[in-house]
Structure 1
Amino acid sequence: MTLPASSSVHEPASPAVAPARRGRRRVALAAVALAAAVVGGAVGWRRFQLAEPDLAGFWGQSFPAPDGASHRLATFRGRPLLVNFWATWCPPCVEEMPLLSRFYTENKANGMQLLGLAVDKPESVQRFLARLPVSFPVALAGVDGIELARQLGNTVGGLPFSILFDANGRLLERKLGPLNERDLSGWRAAVLV
């Protein structure tokens, strides 16, 4: 029996056509995922309006270090300070640590300071620093670090989050997301003459 050309019965796709359909389907799904990511990023960016920072009480805080010492923020006043909020469970945070360590090593003789505030458990930070030591001081902010980051303008509480203070304690720069060489070069130029 021969079916007319307008018949609603479909023949199975040939083996060569099936992979092509799967490929088009994957491309379509990837396009939808990309569009969702772009829309989500735009919405997230709109939500991440850098709020006016609340510095009241900031310089009076103190944080324990993983080795048991303590870091009082007041001791960092008088010289430029980059504060980096990070966590061991945050892949972009971990990726930027070697860059931050190099930056600090190259600029500390010029008066630049860097403090890593870990939004993490002490044991996790200790294990991380044993595997990947850094040249700058690290303190433990714990989960309260997210609230402190929010007070400093990080309305979404994301990590990593970095802020730059000049020698007078004025907040000059803030960035949500990993820093890169260009960011650090610009920030250095803003505070080191």
Structure 2
Amino acid sequence: MKSLPKPLLYVLVAIVAAAAGYWTSRGGGGVYLMPRLDSKAAAEGDTNAVAPEAGLQVHALRLPDANGQFHDLKTLKGKIAVVNFWATWCPPCRREIPEFVETYEQFKDQNVAFVGLSLDMPDKVADFRDEYRVNYPLLIAPPEILQLAARLGNPSQALPFTVILDGEGMIREIRLGTLSKAELEGKIRALML
């Protein structure tokens, strides 16, 4: 069998990529798969198999925001913490964050913290923060943050990925894909009991 000429192959790849992007941006998918550097397929992990104490790794982080100011996530201790792994170029992330903003506004005075760990350039995060009026810290994470996401129950390293920690830093909820405002509110309220 004869292989396709390279220009035709490039066109086919572009069409598939455009269709996938369109499908994702139209709500057809709640997960944006990150490109993998290895040859293994990105597998969905059993989030129930993650040890709750793995969440303590989040408290060990110290990351800058878009303005270069560093934030120690050990300040999350004692609070219910919603930790969202996201990027400005991720369509499901862009749909989810406005509801996170509303939810944080509702719970910010009730010992609840939100933090976004972005896989992006500071200027893009700053523009996004300003455009969407994000009212919680959006921190700039190095590419290695995906390894942490994998240890927290996201072996496929897809976005968005949200981890909800209790006041002790224990993982109480893991969500790969989008999390609606109603779901998020329910999960936070359950931890407040």
Matched, 1:68 2:68: yes
CA distance in 1 between partners of 2:55 and 2:82 (Å): 15
How far the C-alpha of 1:57 sits from its partner, in A, is 4.0
How far the C-alpha of 1:56 sits from its partner, in A, is 5.9
2:31 corresponds to = none
Aligned residue runs from structure 1 range 115-126, under 5 A:
115-126=115-126
Q: Does structure 1 conserve the Cα–Cα contact (< 8 Å) formed by 2:85 and 2:161? A: yes
Amino acid aligned to 1:73: L
* Distance change >3 Å, CA 66–CA 91, structure 1 → 2: same
Q: Which has the larger radius of gyration?
A: 1
CA distance in 1 between partners of 2:149 and 2:108 (Å): 24
CA distance in 1 between partners of 2:192 and 2:102 (Å): 16
After TM superposition, the runs of 4+ consecutive aligned structure 1 residues lying more than 6 A away are none
Q: Deviations over 1:37-91 (max 9, x none)?
A: 9xxxxxx997332252544643222011112211111111111101011100000
2:135 corresponds to = 135
1:52 corresponds to = 50
CA distance in 1 between partners of 2:68 and 2:43 (Å): 40
Q: Does structure 1 conserve the Cα–Cα contact (< 8 Å) formed by 2:105 and 2:135? A: yes
Amino acid aligned to 1:149: A
Amino acid aligned to 1:161: F
CA distance in 2 between partners of 1:144 and 1:127 (Å): 23
Aligned residue runs from structure 1 range 103-182, under 5 A:
103-182=103-182
Q: Does structure 1 conserve the Cα–Cα contact (< 8 Å) formed by 2:42 and 2:155? A: no
CA RMSD of aligned residues (A): 2.1
Amino acid aligned to 2:103: F
Amino acid aligned to 2:147: E
Identical aligned residues as a percent: 32
Compare relative contact order (CA 8 Å, sep 6+) and give the higher one, 1 or 2: 2
1:7 corresponds to = none
1:101 alignment partner, SS class: helix
How far the C-alpha of 1:143 sits from its partner, in A, is 1.6
Alignment length (residue pairs) = 151
Amino acid aligned to 1:176: L
Q: Does structure 2 conserve the Cα–Cα contact (< 8 Å) formed by 1:118 and 1:145? A: no
Larger deviation, residues 126-135 vs 113-122: 126-135
Amino acid aligned to 2:85: F
1:81 alignment partner, SS class: strand
CA distance in 1 between partners of 2:103 and 2:162 (Å): 14
1:191 corresponds to = 191
CA distance in 1 between partners of 2:167 and 2:66 (Å): 26
Q: Deviations over 1:125-176 (max 9, x none)?
A: 1222232220111111132221111111111000000010111111100000
How far the C-alpha of 1:96 sits from its partner, in A, is 0.8
TM-score by length of 2: 0.72
> Which blocks of at least 5 consecutive residues in structure 1 are unaligned?
1-36, 38-43
> Which blocks of at least 5 consecutive residues in structure 2 are unaligned?
1-27, 29-40
CA distance in 2 between partners of 1:170 and 1:164 (Å): 8
TM-score by length of 1: 0.72
Matched, 1:95 2:95: yes
Q: Does structure 1 conserve the Cα–Cα contact (< 8 Å) formed by 2:81 and 2:167? A: yes
